[in-house]
Amino acid sequence: MLPEAVELIALAVAALAFALVFAPSVIPRRSLAIQGGAGLVAGAAIALVPIFDVALLVLFALAAIDAAAAGAQRFAVRLRAPALAVAFLAVALIFARVEGPEVLGRFAAVGLVAGLAAAVGLLPYIHPFDGGDESPASPLVWMAFAGPLLGVSVVFRAESVLSVDSGQAFAAMLIGVGVLNMAWGAGGSWLTSSTDAAWRYSFMADWGLVLCGFGLTVVDGQRAALLALFGIIAGRLPLYLASRAAPAPKALPERPINLVIAGALAGSAPFVGFAARILLLRGATTLYWPLAFALALVMLAWLPGSLRLGRSLNVAGGRQAIAVTLVLAVNVAAGLYPLPLLTAAGL
């Protein structure tokens, strides 16, 4: 049983409870509880079952049920990317298991990375997204809630099925896809005209951090990935849900709380995203310093998009203000003292 997965399951439970208490009224509680609970159980099953093939089948079942649940998109559209992911992962497993030339192992690595990207909804397999989709079955919630368990499960199981040579190719591809998502997500969240799309791009950018961290294959990279996942589940997702309360007026005066939220989303000190970025840069410097330089440049691109997203939250007081304050406090605590999180995950 992976300690990282156990920790992420606990985080997902906390995130679901938090959403049930603090999610805005436009998000129906009943469907949130049912679909969130189903997603949690399936995500836990994906992470905890000992056989990779069974985890794939659980993912397939979860994807079909999620697509069948009422969302803004049609079933046919919602099912495609997860089904593609499952097909990629299944073919990758076949290539990893059969006897043959060495290049088959590399194809298996390609399949695993492509399957992971398609399963979570990252470039180059972005899930179709409707900005008006408030339902818990939204692709954004999938990316932030089921995605982390899925990602950890695929990455750590991949290490057990790939050879050393293929494992190195797998790690390099994770870094490549991670940097691509970081750059595209950070740029997209700044330049897109829709605030809903900007939120989606910001999740992609955070996932880029996670993939880079997993790809670095040094302990600092794994730590960075775990903290970035924490930031997604316990930071960006609740803030995104809080932003759904009511659209911010066009001429909203910028208040200090919006700047603080922007800081948290951008991964500035003292929030948990800052610790993740520092660890990532340290790990990249250990392996290959030009990579760290490139990562630092891309990380700067987070700021404009985060300022924009920070402004999209109209924190008017009441329950929403309590929720935002709690989220910020948790992120500051994890940023200042991440050791318990890392120790619990065995890192």
Partner 1 sequence: MIDGSAAFVAWLGAALIVLADGRRGLALGVGVGTAGLAVVAGLDAGLAVAAVLTLGGAMAALGRLRAGPGGWAVMPPGSTPRLILCVATALIALWIALGITSGESAALRFAVLSVIGLAGARILSSVDPDVQLTAVALLALAIGCAAGLGGAEVWPYVGAALVAAGAGWLPLSAPRAA
Closest by Cα among 131, 147, 127 to 139: 127
Nearer to partner 1, 53 or 165 (CB): 53
239 within 8 A of 202, measured Cβ to Cβ: no
Q: Compute the distance between CA of residue 233 and CA of residue 145 in angstroms, rounded to an integer.
A: 7
Among 13, 38, 48, 91, interactor with partner 1 by CB under 8 A? 91
Cα 215 from Cα 225, distance rounded (Å): 9
| CB nearer to partner 1: pick between 14 and 84 | 84
φ/ψ bin of 58: left (φ > 0), alpha (ψ from -120 to 50), beta (otherwise): alpha
Piece in contact with partner 1 (CB under 8 A), picked from 34-42, 79-87, 115-123, 144-152: 79-87
Return the number of the residue (73 or 181) whose C-beta is nearest partner 1. Answer: 73
Q: Is 191 in the site for partner 1 (CB under 8 A)?
A: no
Spatial contact of 40 and 13, defined as CB atoms under 8 Å apart: yes
> Which of 80, 255, 282, 319 is close enough to bind partner 1 by CB under 8 A?
80
What does the block give as tokens for 275? 């610790």
Instruction: Report the amino acid identity of residue 261.
Output: I
Chosen residue from 133, 163, 257, 282 binding partner 1 by CB under 8 A: 133
Q: Is 166 in the site for partner 1 (CB under 8 A)?
A: no
* Closest CB to partner 1 among residues 242, 260: 242
Helix or strand (DSSP H, E) at 91? helix 75-97
When binding is defined by CB under 8 A, the residue of 71, 105, 121, 208 that contacts partner 1 is: 71
Find the shortest distance in angstroms from Cβ 85 to partner 1: 10
- Residue 301 in contact with residue 186, Cβ under 8 Å? yes
Count residues near partner 1 (CB under 8 A): 44
Exactly one of 17, 21, 26, 322 binds partner 1 (CB under 8 A); that residue is: 26
159 binds partner 1 (CB under 8 A): no
How far is residue 227's CA from residue 244's CA, in Å, rounded to a whole number? 25
Considering only residues 90, 172, 303, 332, which one is a binding residue for partner 1 as defined by CB under 8 A? 90
Residue 311 CA to residue 323 CA, distance in Å, equals 16
Q: Is 94 in the site for partner 1 (CB under 8 A)?
A: yes
Report the alpha-carbon distance of residue 333 to residue 346 in Å, rounded: 19
Using CB under 8 A as the binding rule, whether residue 134 contacts partner 1 is answered as yes
DSSP 111-153: HHHHHHHHHHT-TTSPPP--TT--STT-HHHIIIIIHHHHHHH
Token representation of residue 171: 């790690």
**Given candidates 1, 30, 51, 253, which one binds partner 1 under the rule CB under 8 A?**
51
Interface characters, 261-290, with partner 1 (x: CB under 8 A): ------------------------------
- Residues lying near partner 1 in the complex (CB under 8 A) are found at 26-28, 31, 51, 53-54, 56-58, 60-61, 64-65, 68-76, 79-80, 83-84, 86-87, 90-91, 93-94, 97-101, 104, 130, 132-135
